[in-house]
Chain A
Amino acid sequence: GEDVEQSLFLSVREGDSSVINCTYTDSSSTYLYWYKQEPGAGLQLLTYIFSNMDMKQDQRLTVLLNKKDKHLSLRIADTQTGDSAIYFCAERPAGTASKLTFGTGTRLQVTL
């Protein structure tokens, strides 16, 4: 079955880089996603990567995908206090249009 795991908490200093990690089990995953959720809010799509790619960069965000190890990471460069939030990793199995399996989220705390 599908399962996505993330560490629960990460604390970084403002200006440093943050790396949030995620592992998944479904080898048929077509897309993998990173979402950000601030308190009381919905999910904000940060970025997503197709499974035949191993890297995607978008401004301060870099996504790395190791399909062999089923490992996904999100690097945030020059982390700011506004980046403090919960970050969810999600995978989309083959044959589905919008059925994502989410991890339990990583809370990122940015300190001054």
Chain B
Amino acid sequence: DAGVTQSPTHLIKTRGQQVTLRCSPKSGHDTVSWYQQALGQGPQFIFQYYEEEERQRGNFPDRFSGHQFPNYSSELNVNALLLGDSALYLCASSPLGAGELFFGEGSRLTVL
């Protein structure tokens, strides 16, 4: 059983560009959430998707947007990249309402 898978694993962008990160949840999980982890910090919640809609959002600007597809996979889009967007972006999945929350290995974004 594959766990949460994310792509790409690493990428480099320049300021002002746009990026799309992808996530496939663990089998049987219908809820996907995204986190940003800056170097030396704990992860920060960006938003959560369920039934193809954004259900909750953390303290992130509108430059951060997402999408969930009918097969529960998800994308995170970041527009107008800033140097401060450099971080590890983590996707997590769970069955709705369950206690368990599993994370992927992350996508490491470097903005130059």
Chain A residues close to B by CB (< 8 Å)? 4, 31, 33, 35, 41-45, 48, 50, 88, 90, 92, 96-105
B100 contacts A98, C-beta separation under 8 Å: no
Looking across the interface, which residue of chain B has its beta carbon closest to that of A45?
Answer: B102
Q: When the two chains form their complex, are residues B90 and A42 in contact, meaning their CB atoms are under 8 A apart?
A: yes
A50–B97 CA distance with the chains assembled, in angstroms: 12
8 Å CB contact of A98 from B6, B94, B106: B94
Can you list 26 A-B contacts (CB < 8 A)?
A31-B99, A41-B105, A41-B106, A42-B6, A42-B103, A42-B104, A42-B105, A42-B106, A44-B103, A48-B99, A48-B100, A96-B56, A97-B33, A97-B56, A97-B94, A97-B96, A97-B97, A98-B33, A98-B48, A98-B101, A99-B33, A99-B58, A101-B45, A102-B42, A104-B42, A105-B41
A90 to B44, CA, bound (A): 11
Q: Which of B35, B42, B102, B103 has the most CB of A within 10 A?
A: B42
Q: In the bound complex, how far is the Cα of B102 from the Cα of A44, in angstroms?
A: 7
Q: How far is the CB of B75 from chain A (nearest CB, A)?
A: 17
Contact of A105 with B42 in the complex, beta carbons under 8 Å: yes
CB of B31 within 8 A of CB of A98, answer yes
For A4, list chain B residues within 8 Å (CB).
42
Contacts between the two chains (Cβ within 8 Å), count: 69
CB–CB A43/B103 < 8 A: yes
Interface residue B50 (Cβ < 8 Å from any Cβ of A): yes
**Whole-angstrom distance between the alpha carbons of A107 and B100 in the complex?**
23
Instruction: Verify B102–A97 contact, CB threshold 8 A.
Output: no
**Smallest CB separation, B93 vs chain A (Å):** 8
Q: At the interface, yes or no: B92 with Cβ under 8 Å from chain A?
A: yes
Assess whether A88 is in contact with B99, with CB atoms less than 8 Å apart.
no
B residues near A102, Cβ cutoff 8 Å: 42-44
B94 shortest CB reach to chain A, Å: 6
Which chain A residue lies CB-closest to B48?
A98
A45-B103, A98-B101 provided; 19 other pairs, C-beta below 8 A? A41-B106, A42-B88, A42-B106, A43-B90, A44-B103, A45-B101, A48-B100, A50-B99, A88-B42, A88-B43, A97-B97, A98-B31, A98-B48, A99-B48, A100-B43, A100-B45, A102-B43, A103-B42, A104-B40
